[in-house]
Structure formats: structure tokens, C-alpha cells
Amino acid sequence: MAMYALMSPGGSPGVTTTALALTYAWEGRALLAECDPQGGAVLRGFLAGSMEERDCGLLELALAAAHDPDPAILWQHVIALDQEARNWLLLPGLRDPRHLVQLEGAWDTVAGLLKAAQGTADVVLDMGQIGRYDTPMSLIAACDLVVMLVHPTLRHVSQARPRLDALGHQVGSDVAVGLCAVGNGPYTLKEISKALFGLPVLAWIPNDPKSAAVLSDGIRAKRSFHRSALMRGTRQLGSAMRSRLSKEVAVS
């Protein structure tokens, strides 16, 4: 099992929606951890506030771990997105971004706890927009594979380039990096890869606003949701992520 991170250079390519879809489409047990310093969105979006009263989440985990660093404490601060099977789990993010200051000095501990979870689940991190001063680089450095989501447009690819360059300098070559194109634009997948240091484009997720609204805002899903373009593209991404990581392990 492994730890993956999804991120963007900005411009709202839908990191949280993609990460949530990826968790649902994952083959096996998966934990989605909302680690965007700007706050989490799943509790008030997809879950429509139905579990907001639960005393769990990223901040609560960090505070508890300061007194009890036992890796098992993680499971006291997650909720099941599928109530019966508990195959799809969520570590909710910050409810108020002003609480970010309370996580100062705690990111290494959180990274260690999430890394330890790999024994029982694959971990998907929603990192939101990177390149800001508050990006927790220790979390990204602890991952096995990171995926940058980009719109296939000149503006968005241009935003991604310096952030990927900085990422490479900060985490080195130990962390594999891939790309995922989201939505429509004039750039082909080959052109995106060429513009972004030759990194592989693992998948393309088409624009599918109706299906995305199910995950972003808790809109009632139709029976065809799991066959939607969004979910098909996300399943392709998940398969490509596992394949990419397998190749990296084989080479090393």
C-alpha cells in the first residue's frame, strides 16, 4: 500500500472533487486525508454537514497526537464514507483556516501517522493549491507519488511549471511525480507533458459538472453516476497511479 498526494497550481481544477472520486473508485481500502491548509470541504460539501458535529479531523488528530503519538490514534479521528464496509475513509480537514496556526510544528507528526496507515489502507492526500508559503512540504515528501492536476490551457500549464520545478528542488527525486489533465483546452496530453519537464500524463478527466456536483455539493446521485465520465476518468487515473508507482519500485 502507498501514500499519494493530489495538488494543483491554482485555478480550481477540482483537487478535492477528484481526490474524493478517486477514493470511491479505488480498488481496495482507501483513506482520503484533507490536508489543504486552506481548509477541508467534504464535510460541508459532499456530506452536506451531516457529520460536522463529529469530534474528528486533521486538527483534532494533531492535538491528540501531541499527547499520544501511537499510530493507532489516527483511526479515532476518521469517519467512514461507506458506513457498513468502512473501505472508504475520510480524515476531515480544517473547518476554519484560521486554525492553521495550531498545526505549526505538527505536520511531521501527521505525516508519520498517515504513513503508518499504509499497513491497512492506501492514503490519498488532498493538498489543494501548492506553491503557497503554508504548503506542508513534509507531507508531500512522505508520499510515494504526487499528481499535479492541470487544465490543458496555456495559463494553467504556465502556472504549474514553476511550482513543479520548486517541488522537485524541495522533495528531490525520491518522490515520483505525474500529471493529470482535467477538463477541456487546446493543449494535447503530449504537449502538456513536453511543457512540464516530460512528466507523464497519467490520465485525462473530462469536464462533467453534473457528476462533479454530486461530490462537491452533495447533489443526489443518479443511478448512472458510477458510469459517468468523471468516474471513468478517475478510475483510469487510479489505475495509472498504481502502475506508475509499480514501475518506479521496479526501477529502484
Strands 88-91 and 79-80: antiparallel
Q: Rounded to an integer, what is the distance from CA 73 to the centroid of its chain?
A: 21
Helix, strand, coil percentages in the chain from 3-state DSSP, rounded to 5: 45, 15, 40
Strands (DSSP E) along the chain, which ranges? 3-8, 30-34, 79-80, 88-91, 122-129, 145-150, 176-182, 201-205
- List the end-to-end C-alpha distance of the chain, in Å, as a whole number: 17
Which pTM value belongs to this model? 0.94
Q: Which residues face 181 on adjacent strands? A: 150, 204
pLDDT tens per residue, the chain (252 residues)? 899 999 999 877 799 999 999 999 998 999 999 999 999 999 999 998 777 777 889 999 999 999 888 999 999 999 998 876 678 999 999 999 899 999 988 999 999 999 999 889 999 999 999 988 889 999 999 999 999 999 999 999 999 999 999 999 998 888 999 999 999 999 999 999 999 999 999 999 999 999 999 999 999 999 999 999 999 999 999 999 999 988 776 665
Do residues 143 and 112 touch, judged by C-beta distance below 8 A? Answer: no
- Quickly list DSSP for 48-75: TTTTTTSS-SHHHHHHHHTT---GGGGG
What's 100's domain CATH number?
Answer: 3.40.50.300
Q: Which amino acid is at 108?
A: D
Look up the domain containing 110 and give its range. 3-251
Structural domain tally of the chain? Answer: 1
Cβ atoms within 10 Å of 222's Cβ, excluding its own: 12
